Amino acid sequence: MIHLTSGELMASITVLVLSIFLGFELISKVPPTLHTPLMSGANAISGITIVGALFAANARLSAGDHVMATILGFCALVLATINCVGGFMVTGRMLRMFKRKGK
Query: Per-residue pLDDT for the chain (103 aa), expressed as one digit of tens each?
Result: 567 788 888 888 899 899 888 888 877 787 776 766 777 777 777 788 888 888 877 766 555 566 777 788 888 889 888 888 888 888 788 778 777 776 5
Provide the angle, in degrees to the nearest 10, between the axes of the packed helices 65-97 and 35-57: 160
Residue 31 placed within a domain: no
Write down the pLDDT at residue 18. 92
- Put simply, whether the predicted model's pTM sits higher than 0.75 gets the answer no
Which positions ≥6 away from 102 have C-beta within 8 Å? none
Residue 2 placed within a domain: no
Write down the pLDDT at residue 102. 67
Residue 65 placed within a domain: yes
Q: How far apart (Å, rounded) are the C-alpha atoms in residues 48 and 9?
A: 26
Q: How far apart (Å, rounded) are the C-alpha atoms in residues 83 and 42?
A: 9
The backbone torsions φ and ψ at residue 24, rounded to the nearest 5 degrees and listed phi first, read -65, -45
Residue 6 placed within a domain: no
Write down the pLDDT at residue 2. 65
Residue 88 placed within a domain: yes
- Number of domains within the chain: 1
Residue 30 placed within a domain: no
Residue 66 placed within a domain: yes
Asked whether 81 and 50 are in contact (CB, 8 A), the reply is: yes
Residue 16 placed within a domain: no
Write down the pLDDT at residue 53. 83
Print the domain residue range for 81. 36-97
